[in-house]
Chains A and B, each alone.
Chain A
């Protein structure tokens, strides 16, 4: 059950954290020594979290049709949120965090 809950929410939770952390860390990325790498790190870690949801969904052995439905739908959702996290990470490579 815990794994099922993990695969259902890994992607959306990773994306939520990515959005909030990225916005919050922009001023720090402008002034702190790691600079934009701070933001790249956040993107990589949270994309990995979403991907782990996808992988776990692939490896699940659902016991009932309902669980099978949740795991396959979660697989799609986690894949999609991985894509969104990557898309949100692209501006970090293009824009200077100090620009306003």
Chain B
């Protein structure tokens, strides 16, 4: 059934230059070089994002081919042992950090607005920032090639191998700092994706009617928040150990190398599912399309995704079965690792049952989907084997493990990525890829993949260790290794075939322009323009079904109030970028949100962020501080209200509602309120990781603190608690005053809050001077100092934010219905006060 919303009349399409249609005009980012750098539109950003990430994928692939060349024959000397170590480190890190997760993010950024029925995601400048930080972080990471200081301690950089004593070159620092830049972008993307899905769905798209892909991205976003933050914190701790003399991982001073393993794998294991869950979400869109029926067990698949998301955080110890942990303790993780097979199985069986009961049309995306199912099942089965402690002890760090995780990652990520590229390329580029070449592409990749990686199971069972640059002849390893190498080059040819398909049909423009809905799919994204226009949905769709294009006659019918609203939005407002905010569970329209336009500041902030980290790499601290100030300025400017909004605010013109919906919202209705909530969650998770580390080290220490180190007194911290309590009170007063329209009292309360934040920092400085030790004395001082430093950083950031909000208040940007920034700032300070209470208990009272 074709769903219809009246197309734009031709006379509004506009000619050269500015569009005549006011809606198109307000959503256009313009043309030219400046527009290229400042665009916040998903289309162009995702295009270059995917190209960048694919380039990193090719680089990682070349590194893999070099390794396979070395291993083709025994005792080969094509690569030196050192270069081999560097290549497997770069290969693993590139694929995991610069290809796998960013590619999933890029797809999500592109697909969410059309699939949600929203014109944009809530923080468009964050999308631009994400692209720039992945680009610059990846470049910084790969600068290691240019300066000849490559990391060589593997993609999980275990301590003590990665500490300054055993890895004295800058290689590990490139690894730590380059990847940190990219991870900051990943965490930033969480806000965009989660808030977009929770608050910006089309009217009627309740949680029950939400496509499974959106569910998968929602789960992925929460997982990224809880996984990448520990990674950031443990890389920070390693960096402090390497260059600032702390002792988190130094057993000679009370630290513990196993702490690194715990923190890394708390990130590392969920990372696999951060890739797998969106991949199954993609499959859940592609398979029903080609089976011509809705997916079997829709609700069970949601259950499976959510359960997998949770349980993936309880499996990390199965990467540490040979680390000497208590047997019973490990068995809990064995049980959880076995149980995760249930939700994973539900997802796979749902796809199989959909195909089994449907009328299957074999097209290239479906071929790759079938490749995903078969390959991932093999990887999953060997994963269940590895969850058993005795089996793991036999094959750990052997090629069996290498085979296992390539079956999981290539099956669970690469095949779905190719399926998705073939499936959504027409929507992304406006061109169809060649089907025959696509089928050949799949056949070559599928066969080559199995030729490459299946023999590695045999090599591993024969005892071939991973990460060793060569092997002796006569051990039975020659044949499987030679086959693997041949397969690897064939896999490379498969990837080249895809590139030929894309270059010929998309970049050179020989591909057929697709129909409106080339695969006859049922999901919403196929009802938008191809490729989607800058304004996305002119008339927001009204959703009554999980598969609206199959089950709805039209997308603009239903509740008359919603229909009227949807059509009214096409004509007004057109003086700013407006999109609908809907309720959390039932997607009932609640507000109209004003979205920001193009800006060069996300790119400036990303360059400044990279400069901070690059300067730290070479210990040029003044440059790092200068770049940090520029970054703070860019972010403040990025969030400053634009001219049109400043004028309207100052004039208090137009009233607070449009079409009966509020434009200036507060509390949980406002996307920015949720943004702040996620910021606070990130801060809480980051701090919790260090608190975990503090107790981990404490439990293992014979004396805590060591006899040579005095624990700081309680007087000054208690005084600071009083300061923060007063600060929270001042924020509550500011919020209450602005809600009543008393601007003078609001200003006074904000000024008081800023003064109290400064007072906290002064008292904290005095306290630091009374410690009598520095954080580099031992593990206790390192952990204590880091936690205290985190609180100081929170207060410093809060002081900057309070100063900015106070300036906004002075300029008259707030009134009794425009106060979200004050509310968010209040929430921030309540959190910081609560955080200080927790630290008082952890550091001073226990």
A, B in one complex: yes
Interface string of A43-80 (1 = CB under 8 A from B): 00000000000000000000011111110110011001
User: For chain A residues 70-100, which have a beta carbon within 8 Å of chain B?
Assistant: 70, 72-73, 76-77, 80-81, 83-84, 87-88, 90-92, 95-97, 99-100
**B208 contacts A23, CB within 8 Å?**
no
CB distance from A67 to the nearest CB of B (A): 6
Q: Which residues of B contact A70 (CB under 8 A)?
A: 207, 585
A71 to B342, CA, bound (A): 21
Given A26-B329, A66-B206, A96-B328, residue A19 in contact with residue B336 (CB < 8 A): yes
A100 to B207, CA, bound (A): 46
CB distance from B126 to the nearest CB of A (A): 27
**A99 contacts B326, CB within 8 Å?**
yes
**A72 contacts B299, CB within 8 Å?**
yes
User: For chain B residues 578-624, which have a beta carbon within 8 Å of chain A?
Assistant: 583-587
**B306 contacts A64, CB within 8 Å?**
no
Given A66-B206, A83-B339, residue A73 in contact with residue B311 (CB < 8 A): no
Q: Which residues of A contact B507 (CB under 8 A)?
A: none
CB distance from B323 to the nearest CB of A (A): 12
The residue that B307 contacts in the complex, of A72, A81, A91, with Cβ under 8 A, is A81
CB distance from A60 to the nearest CB of B (A): 13
Interface string of B343-366 (1 = CB under 8 A from A): 100000000000000000000000
Query: What interface size band does chain B fall in?
Result: 35 or more
Tell whether A16 is near chain B: CB-to-CB under 8 Å.
yes
A66 to B584, CA, bound (A): 9
Q: Which residues of B contact A95 (CB under 8 A)?
A: 327-328, 331
Interface of A is mostly: helix
User: For chain B residues 633-681, which have a beta carbon within 8 Å of chain A?
Assistant: none
Given A73-B303, A81-B307, residue A23 in contact with residue B586 (CB < 8 A): no
A67 to B317, CA, bound (A): 36
Tell whether B300 is near chain A: CB-to-CB under 8 Å.
yes
Tell whether B332 is near chain A: CB-to-CB under 8 Å.
yes
Given A15-B314, A66-B586, residue A73 in contact with residue B329 (CB < 8 A): no
The chain A residue sitting closest to B314, CB to CB, is A19
**Number of A residues, CB within 8 Å of B:** 36
Tell whether B338 is near chain A: CB-to-CB under 8 Å.
yes
**A67 contacts B585, CB within 8 Å?**
yes
The chain B residue sitting closest to A80, CB to CB, is B307
Tell whether B302 is near chain A: CB-to-CB under 8 Å.
yes
CB distance from A21 to the nearest CB of B (A): 10
Q: Which residues of A contact B207 (CB under 8 A)?
A: 66, 69-70
A84 to B339, CA, bound (A): 6
The residue that B299 contacts in the complex, of A73, A96, A99, A100, with Cβ under 8 A, is A73
Q: Which residues of A contact B244 (CB under 8 A)?
A: none
- Which positions in A face B, CB cutoff 8 Å? 12, 15-16, 19, 22-23, 26-27, 29-30, 39, 64-70, 72-73, 76-77, 80-81, 83-84, 87-88, 90-92, 95-97, 99-100
Which 3 A/B pairs are nearest by Cβ-Cβ distance?
A66-B585, A91-B331, A69-B208
